[in-house]
Amino acid sequence: MAELAGVMVGNYFLLECLGREGMVETYRARPTTAGGYDVVLRLFRPPFPDPTGFREHFEAEVEKVWRCRHTHIQPLLEFGAGEELLYCATLFSEETLAQFLESQQDSWLPIDLVLRIVTRLCAALQYAHEQGIVHGNIQPSSILMRDDGQVLLTNFGLRRANAPGTSLVARLDEGNPAYIAPEQALGVLGPASDIYALGILLYRLLGGVLPYEDPDPGELALKHAGEAIPPLRQLRPEISEALEMVVRVALAKSSEARFPSAAALAEALLAALRPQASERLADWPRRRIHVRKRHTTHALTRAVSLLTLTVLLLGLASSFLFVFSLPPQIYDLGRQIIAGGLADLPNLWGKAVALKPQPTPAGSVVVSTGSTKHHTTPRPRGTVTGAQVTPTLNVSQSPVVNWGTPTPAVSPSPGRCPVGSLTLNGSPNLAPLLQQASSDYQGLCPGVKVSVSADGSRTALTLVQQNQLDVASSDLSALPTRGLSDHQVGILPYVLVASPDVPVNSLSTAQIQGIYQGQITNWSQVGGPNEAINVLLAPAADPLHAIFRAFVLHGGLEQVQGTLLTTDQAGQAAQLVGQATGAITYVPLNAMQVQGVKAHMLAINGIIPTIQSLQQDSYPFWSVEHLYTLGNGSAPAQSYLLFLNSPQGRGDMLRFGVLPLAMFAPDVLATHLPGPEV
């Protein structure tokens, strides 16, 4: 194609050419509409006749991508035709992984950073593959690195999946030959081709070079098809054998020998890069990864059988412990809901989540949250009280409004109890849980004096960095540059809530985006009454903003002119919505347990947080909760972390609406990790 800078294409004025690859040219462009922002415009002009047939193919494939809504896939703004060119537009705002690599001092990246990048890409690809979309163009220039630490997959190819041999598909010249799978070079494209490209990317990020290089695309394709993979550990000895094996499986010459899915690749990466989590991973449901190997000894067969049996028994034991520890009331409540239908849900919900205020006896642990103090009554040693939170309302299934109450059981002492002090500070959302857990922990280890505060994640992380605090709690991941150790403890769901006068039960993602971008201003626009929408906004520094933007707005901004809550009001947001008219906001799910809350939950795309919807990742609005220490932490901190992972500690989590990490598969967690960073 000739240089087109300065030309109008559709409603876009081309400013500068950013790159050329095959039949695709990429330009920075500016829309002619008032207030328009710069975009990246990809222009497609195939070097063969029959433009009508290609246009039909283009529209069919691009529309699939346009309909994608995923945290780690860059949304398309528009696609169309102009001046005999086909184009698609995306926002121009982020740095590509290729540019990021060029700016790095070392040719390879830290292993933890590679894990974060690739697991996010796996999450995006798993979603795309489930929609019947194959990317076909994975390379560093197709990956965006945002300032907030998020990774976005973009520049989807146009080859249709599983369409080998057609003249149109075979002649589409796109993609980087260095990242193309052997079968893709022959015109055969499928999800396994994307797995191969991710394997090449893994090799490049870990080893600093590509496994195969040649200026001639044909020779390069032959190397991909026939040459052995150069040993990765020769380039970087610190890489473990397990990690190199993951790369080799992803780069298998035969598509059948690769990982069966992007989620399986992510799971294998987590297992290889985080061996310290292997005990936790053993309790999660795992996908089988079939790799052809020659093993003939009976000893290996017996070992595999024994390992499989052990994992199954552990899983069954965990399930029985959780299910049979639930009290009879939860089943009675479920039957009431099924019998009464959704119309009776608000009354049942109010009964389920109301917490009676308790007097604060002497000796209780006090949690400071600015002007508010929370008090927890120490329980007798070894007891666990019931869960009183966590609604689960799903439009398509009978809701259960209680996570369950673990039966009283004596928890073992968390290792050998140390003596000293332990200070925790950070997220107000985790403060009630940590307060109760601290009280229970002191019942087991009275020689440790525990204090809990809630001055915010950013403040607490800085204090830990300065060695002025033992443990920081955070709803957001800490930036790697902070150099802190991450102890992930559970997931915290969040919900959209509306005033009682708003008879709307569910909003689609598009409707939520419209409300928070100021395009939808009246409830009548979403099936409600003719009433203005009053958006209550959390304080600017509240981490909830970042979580909401990342997982509900898919990276979009909150541009609505709403009512800004003060810091002192933030903890009362659910109550304030219940007292207002036409109001909407979002709060942690455990905020709905407070007595007197009249607001009602809004489902997102017809789904609200149930155990099933969270485990299947069909409900998007949640975050992984973290505890951070400097290094391994002090002896009391290590002992406290062990306690949180005990049955009694997990019981405290359930009571306060935090679901233990062991309930979720690695590929589900990977969709929200690391998430927004602070």
Quote the percentage of the chain above a pLDDT of 90. 40
Q: Where in the chain is the domain with CATH 3.40.190.10?
A: 325-678
**Per-residue pLDDT, 187:** 75
pLDDT of residue 456 exceeding 60, the answer is yes
The residues, ordered by sequence, that sit 6+ positions from 249 with a Cβ below 8 Å of its Cβ are 199, 257, 258, 259, 268, 289, 291
Residue 541 banded pLDDT, cuts 50, 70, 90: confident
Backbone angles phi and psi of 82, in degrees to 5: -165, 135
Mean per-residue pLDDT for 612-639?
Answer: 93
Count how many Cα atoms sit within 13 Å of the Cα of residue 1 in the half-sphere of its side chain. 23
The larger pLDDT score, comparing residue 573 to residue 449, is at: 449
Cis bond leading into 674, ω under 30°?
yes
Residue given tokens 């019998």 in the structure block: 339
Contact 28, 21 (CB under 8 A): no
The helix/strand/coil state of 81 is: strand
In this predicted structure, what is the pLDDT of residue 57? 66
Rounded distance between C-alpha atoms, residue 515 and residue 502, angstroms: 14
> Average pLDDT, whole number, for the chain?
76
Q: Where in the chain is the domain with CATH 3.30.200.20?
A: 1-93
Q: Does the domain formed by 1-93 have CATH 3.40.50.1450?
A: no
pLDDT tens digits, one per residue of 349-403: 233 232 233 333 333 333 333 333 333 333 333 333 333 333 333 333 333 234 4
The CA-atom distances, in angstroms, between 65 and each of 73, 153, 573, 591 are 9, 11, 37, 37
Q: Is 259 exposed, middle or buried (0-12, 13-18, 19+ CB in 10 A)?
A: buried
pLDDT at 342 over 60: no
List, for residues 487-509, the tens digit of each pLDDT value.
Answer: 999 999 999 999 999 999 999 99
Instruction: Return the top range by mean pLDDT from 2-16, 240-254, 310-324, 577-591.
Output: 240-254
Q: How far apart are CA 585 and CA 650, in angstroms?
A: 29
**What is the pLDDT, as a whole number, of residue 514?**
93
Short-list 303, 310, 265, CA closest to 118: 265
At 162 the pLDDT is 40
Span 71-110, pLDDT tens digits: 899 888 887 765 567 888 888 866 899 999 998 888 899 9
Mean pLDDT on 125-151: 88
Let me know: does 441 contact 652? Beta carbons within 8 Å: no
Q: State the pLDDT confidence band at 209, using cuts at 50, 70 and 90.
A: very high
> Which amino acid, one-letter code, is at 363?
G
Lowest mean pLDDT among 188-202, 351-365, 602-616: 351-365
Instruction: Give the pLDDT band (50/70/90) at residue 52.
Output: low
- pTM for this model (two decimals): 0.46
The reported pLDDT for the residue numbered 568 is 56
Whether 159 has a pLDDT exceeding 90, the answer reads no
Note whether 554 and 74 are within 8 A (CB): no
Please determine, for residue 518, whether its predicted confidence score (pLDDT) is greater than 70.
yes
Rounded to an integer, what is the distance from CA 609 to the centroid of its chain?
A: 15
pLDDT of 530 above 90: yes
- Topology of domain 96-286 in CATH is Transferase(Phosphotransferase); domain 1 (1.10.510)
Q: Is the dihedral of CA 346, 553, 673, 269 positive or negative?
A: positive
Q: Is the pLDDT of residue 288 over 70?
A: no
- Give the pLDDT band of residue 54 (cuts 50, 70, 90): low
Coil vs helix vs strand at 267 = helix
What is the per-residue pLDDT for 50?
53
Q: Which CATH number fits domain 325-678: 3.40.190.10, 1.10.443.10, 1.20.200.10, 3.30.565.10?
A: 3.40.190.10
Residue 101 has a CB neighbour count (10 Å cut-off) of: 17
